[in-house]
A = this chain, B = another copy of it.
Amino acid sequence: MPDPLTIAIDAMGGDRGPEVVVPGADLALERHPDIRLLLFGDQAKLEPVLAGFPRVREKSQVVHADVAISMEEKPSQALRRGRNVSSMWAAIEAVKDQRADVVVSAGNTGALMAMAKVILKTMPGISRPAIAGFWPTLRGDSIVLDLGATIGADADQLFDFAVMGEAMARCMLGVERPTVGLLNVGIEEMKGVEEVREAGRRLREAKLPIEYCGFVEGDDLGKGTVDVFVIEGFTGNIALKAAEGTVRQLTTYLRDAMNRSLLTRIGYLLSRGAFAALKARLDPRTKNGGVLLGLNGIVVKSHGGTDAIGFAAAIDVAVETTRNNLIEKIAADLTAKYNAAQADDSSALNAEGV
């Protein structure tokens, strides 16, 4: 690993590329003055923006890449067109080659997933990666995965999501023994799809130090009933966006309500502090940065439409996951899982008198 901590950044990613990435990097460097950046992108577009941010200029090395992956490209097309030559590809490759510790991109999620899988490969025993994100709850943040990296997950994959999410919770939430729940349509053992029930049985019986709490329901997300919510990617993605949509809806209702009359507008002025606090709490930018888990390297995905504040938050996630050795923690847990499974197999053989 390079020293100091080095972050590879896909400077062309996101709706606005360098215009958001560079000021975002500047904010992040204010908080983490000891990190270094590798900025991958079109030098002709990057340099003029960098000229306005001397701190980023000083702490970065620009690596030119000819191609920028667009937000609309299909993963297969992005792979064809962007292999070796795109800023996204080159940034991920820097992690593989150990020139960087971690990579951050606000680019096309599908393309990022596809390239990360090709370049970094999945960890031993992991067939499909997951995107884990932070979910603000009444009890503080929880981690939810999969938010849509892959569609459909069998019991074994859900089990692995639990293992990886638990490791991430230890790294990022400051909880020593994070609690883990499987999202389902009810809390009774017989509820839901077979994959979820089977994953539940395995987690209950697993000889791993995982604090498995059983099934949880959709409304447990807001309550923060557990630290780690495990769900298959299709449902995870729709639930996340349904909740985000609800936040926007209520914010609109609230604004309408406060504009109703002179009295409510005066009330609003007096309560400005309260609304500012509320707004800060709901600010999606502070929770920006999903982590692709299950790969031999950390890939942080920022929202494509975020601004500098949001992009800086994604860099924060990159710094914290790396400093807290997320990959090593996950690898250790997966090894423990396979050792436990092997021990089970041999004790089963012993029981059979073999």
Interface residues of A (CB under 8 A from B): 74, 137-138, 148, 151-152, 183-185, 188, 190, 192-193, 217-223, 231, 233-235, 237-250, 252-254, 257-258, 260-261, 263-264, 266-275, 277-278, 281-282
Q: Of B237, B243, B273, which contacts A185 at CB under 8 A?
A: B237
Establish whether residues A258 and B238, one from each chain, have CB atoms under 8 Å apart when the complex forms: no
List chain B residues, Cβ under 8 A from A220: 245
What would 14 more interface pairs be, CB under 8 Å, given A152-B193, A218-B239? A74-B188, A138-B249, A151-B192, A183-B238, A185-B233, A193-B234, A219-B241, A222-B246, A235-B239, A258-B274, A260-B273, A260-B277, A267-B271, A271-B271
The answer to whether A240 and B258 touch (CB under 8 A), given A137-B249, A234-B192, A246-B247, is no
Q: How far is the CB of A135 from chain B (nearest CB, A)?
A: 9
What's the Cα separation between A3 and B243 when bound, in Å?
44
In the complex, the count of this chain's copies comes to 2
Which residue of B is nearest A277, CB measured?
Answer: B257
Residue of B nearest to A233 (CB): B185
Residues of B within 8 Å of A258, CB to CB, are 271, 274
Residues of chain B with a CB closer than 8 A to A233's CB: 185
Query: Contact: A273 with B277, CB < 8 Å?
Result: no
- Sorted nearest first, the 7 A-B pairs with minimum C-beta distance are A218-B241, A222-B245, A267-B271, A267-B270, A219-B245, A257-B274, A222-B249
A271: chain B residues within 8 A (beta carbon): 257-258, 263-264, 267-268, 271
